[in-house]
């Protein structure tokens, strides 16, 4: 992937002039390390790529490092902050809320932290959602709770109304936790704030189980999702082994990117077929999925199949496209289609199979985070606070090349991150499963 044309400049509200309270250890506590704006993390880590850029006279692109600054923009004693969670649920939402609140309260001394209920609806008067006062007492015991204590919602809301609400509430920093749709809305909110000449920072914290946010190497909740998905795979494998011609079919999340399906398959290595959106496959024909599945049953007597929800949508061509409240195209259920095709295929051949279909999607989304995600969310939330307090805005706190960095919001929403069909992840999946291309040869031209 080429990054040399990506603008990594981070916007600010103005000069940060206030000495950070983190400079003075409180109550005998240790102080803080500090990061300067000129500390940057290269986008490329491949030496040949960096050398080629240098030879071409192109500066190697690099992200600004995340972390506390020695000077901050906002006066903590007068600052009001707001947090909002949007879109689908994801393990770790409460962890993010907790880390943001604790950092604001204990480290910076901010006493006015407002939780916006049910996503962007919470800003719009007609919905009548009350706000929630957030404090250490409010968030102390929420780590073991799934979902979000603030609730969520989908769908566009009037950006100007959102900014009107921020003005009325005298908010200085808005923390928006969500996926690509949420971050696109956050970008529009930041633009509307700027056009009004307001001094409100907008900080995005990327959330997606699919791990598909561009320029974000790892998103919170993904590690937990892989953990739970592997349990589903283990159950499907046990079921498949227990019966003659047993088949375990698991549908996992992944609208446009198959990272969860691919990674979960590698975590267990009990999977024989992985179907993802990035890699087209044929159902029928001599090298299609169904023929290969039949060969697998003939040789081993059982099979496990993992399919990402966005895989094989081309098999629904001609059907009416529908959209959800957020404007996303509603996917047709590839899991149920694959299930019906398997049943029909073996029935036609007079072969008896035992098929178990598992869809753990909503269980995964609503569970608490695991230990790895607890730690990861703690870093993300605190670095989001450091960014906002220093007056930075319209950025996303990202994890890149094993560092936490600031990424311009507009760059994140330009495209989705996807599994590279020619990359190491997919190559390793093919090695672990032993599956073929599942594509028939193109017909010869007459």
- Cβ(436)–Cβ(419) below 8 Å: no
Beta strands in 349-394 (DSSP E): 354-358, 392-393
Backbone Cα Rg of the chain: 24
Which is catalytic among the residues 210, 212, 227, 359? 210
Known binding positions for substrate: 208-210, 253-255, 309, 362-365
Query: From CA 88, how far away is CA 97, in angstroms rounded?
Result: 16
Helix orientation angle between 424-433 and 259-268, rounded to the nearest 10 degrees: 40
Known binding positions: 88, 154-155, 179-182, 208-210, 253-255, 309, 362-365
Among 85, 131, 93, smallest CA distance to 112 is for 131
Known binding positions for Mg(2+): 180
Helices (H), strands (E): how many in the chain?
A: 13, 17
Buried/exposed 273-298: b ≥16 CB within 10 Å, e otherwise:
bbbbbbbebbbeeeebbbbbbbebbe
Is residue 36 part of the annotated active site? The answer reads no
The secondary structure of 190-249 as a DSSP string is: HHHHHHTT---EEEEEEB-TT--BTT-S--BTHHHHHHHHHHHHHHHHHHHHHSTTEEEE
The secondary structure of 382-410 as a DSSP string is: HHHHHHHHTTEESEEEEEETTEEEEEEHH
Name the residues annotated as catalytic.
210
């Amino acid at each position: 992937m080429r990054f040399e044309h990506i603008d990594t400049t981070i916007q600010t509200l103005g000069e940060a002039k206030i000495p950070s309270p983190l400079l003075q250890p409180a109550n005998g506590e240790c102080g803080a390390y500090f990061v300067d704006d000129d500390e940057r993390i290269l986008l490329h880590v491949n030496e040949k790529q960096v050398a080629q850029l240098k030879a071409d006279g192109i500066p190697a692109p690099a992200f600004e490092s995340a972390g506390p600054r020695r000077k901050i923009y906002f006066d903590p004693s007068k600052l009001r902050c707001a947090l909002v969670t949007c879109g689908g649920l994801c393990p770790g939402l409460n962890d993010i809320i907790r880390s943001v609140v604790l950092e604001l309260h204990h480290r910076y001394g901010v006493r006015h932290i407002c939780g916006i209920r049910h996503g962007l609806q919470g800003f719009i008067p007609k919905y009548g959602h009350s706000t929630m006062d957030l404090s250490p007492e409010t968030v102390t015991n929420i780590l073991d709770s799934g979902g979000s204590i603030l609730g969520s919602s989908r769908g566009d809301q009037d950006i100007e109304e959102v900014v009107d609400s921020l003005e009325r509430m005298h908010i200085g920093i808005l923390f928006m936790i969500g996926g690509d749709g949420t971050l696109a809305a956050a970008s529009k909110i930041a633009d509307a704030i700027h056009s009004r000449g307001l001094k409100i920072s907008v900080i995005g914290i990327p959330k997606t189980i699919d791990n598909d946010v561009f320029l974000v190497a790892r998103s919170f909740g993904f590690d937990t999702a892989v953990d739970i998905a592997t349990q589903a795979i283990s159950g499907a494998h046990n079921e498949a082994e227990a019966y003659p011609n047993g088949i375990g079919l698991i549908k996992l999340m992944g609208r446009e990117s198959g990272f969860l399906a691919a990674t979960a398959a590698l975590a267990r290595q009990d999977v024989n077929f992985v179907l993802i959106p990035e890699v087209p496959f044929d159902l029928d024909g001599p090298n299609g999925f169904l023929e290969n599945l039949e060969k697998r049953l003939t040789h081993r007597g059982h099979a496990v199949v993992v399919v990402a929800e966005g895989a094989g949508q081309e098999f629904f061509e001609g059907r009416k496209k529908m959209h959800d409240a957020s404007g996303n195209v509603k996917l047709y259920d590839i899991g149920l289609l694959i299930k019906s095709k398997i049943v029909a295929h073996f029935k036609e051949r007079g072969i008896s199979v035992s098929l178990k279909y598992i869809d753990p999607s909503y269980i995964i989304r609503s569970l608490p985070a695991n230990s790895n995600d607890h730690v990861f969310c703690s870093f993300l939330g605190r670095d989001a606070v450091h960014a906002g307090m220093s007056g930075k805005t319209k950025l996303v706190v990202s994890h890149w090349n094993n560092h936490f960095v600031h990424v311009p919001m507009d760059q994140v929403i330009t495209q989705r991150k996807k599994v590279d069909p020619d990359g190491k992840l997919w190559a390793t999946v093919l090695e672990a499963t032993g599956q073929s291309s599942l594509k028939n040869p193109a017909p010869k031209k007459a």
